[in-house]
Structure 1
């Protein structure tokens, strides 16, 4: 499953969401790759994680805009899940990522919306639907300690409404980038240090990767048992 994390402003929440979803998915036993087209240092983060002996290890790849399609084709058979930090810019690489993604996660701060930038992102999402009509879009509200307040939530909902079939996550992230958990670590590695932030990211993970229905799970287990 390919999931893109994208926004239109240089806030750190995009990277925080990408890393934590990758860690939580790998903790469930899946083969996970974290890819970036944004040049934001995820390969360094992976090396720091390995050097510190933090488990699970996350394989990361930084990919230039023109190489995205080729690299995705090579990585798909090797991993169960690929999460892609697709950055903020409208590049060929980002468009390719959106065209290949089953779900696009958009962290957004309602109180810091720059309308011109957000409209560019909305246009990019609409354009991707032309090539990927099954693509789902999940906006995630990011707020300060007590928010979002009414005006922040209204601003986020207004943008959600401008994207066909987009939804707003029930989970609200409260300043998830506010703490440093050590080299190569993220809040999902250190749940005893910040249980509230860890619980929010776990709740978002459950919305991004909902557990299978009991009946579907039973059928899948029976098929595995029968070697189907």
Structure 2
């Protein structure tokens, strides 16, 4: 994959948002040792009147040297995945929509809700004739909505933060093959696991998918141990992210 200064060949998942450094390091350690990423329920697009959520894990393709502003929000501990591998698993850039197009998105969601109802009653569905959708077409539309994100929203202090500049990529639960029944949980698949009596959707990856991990300099010793276990490069935040 050709290298460009303004876009990275890796997708970085940052940890540490609203956490102290010790908690962020613990989260990164858990990710590396278990080789799983926990999916969170996040809005596809945001509005005061309407929210649609999907289980997903998020990344950015902002090059490390330009990541200071991003890291100020999402943390300084990261794991960088080979973009090509993640694309093969189903990763996709977030599909940003402006407020002017929000009404169209809402109409699409209303259509999907009606289509779900049609799937529950086949006889009623047949009455729609040419206007009915096949099940795989319905599923495809539902999966696409998982990558939607509104271009901007208002922070709690009412200052505008434009999400477009997060350069977000996503893996969504609905678009990943599910490891269930007799299917083993292999890299590239989703599953559920229990922790503290709570069930979480997760994504499994392989060490081969990882290009590097990033930690601040004062966590270099712990970071080096993780990097050796993952057989990947260790990057120090202060040396990799431009001030």
TM-score by length of 1: 0.27
Higher Cα radius of gyration: 2
- The structure with the largest helix share of the pair is 1
- The structure with the largest strand share of the pair is 2
Name which structure has the greater RCO, CA cutoff 8 Å, separation 6+.
2
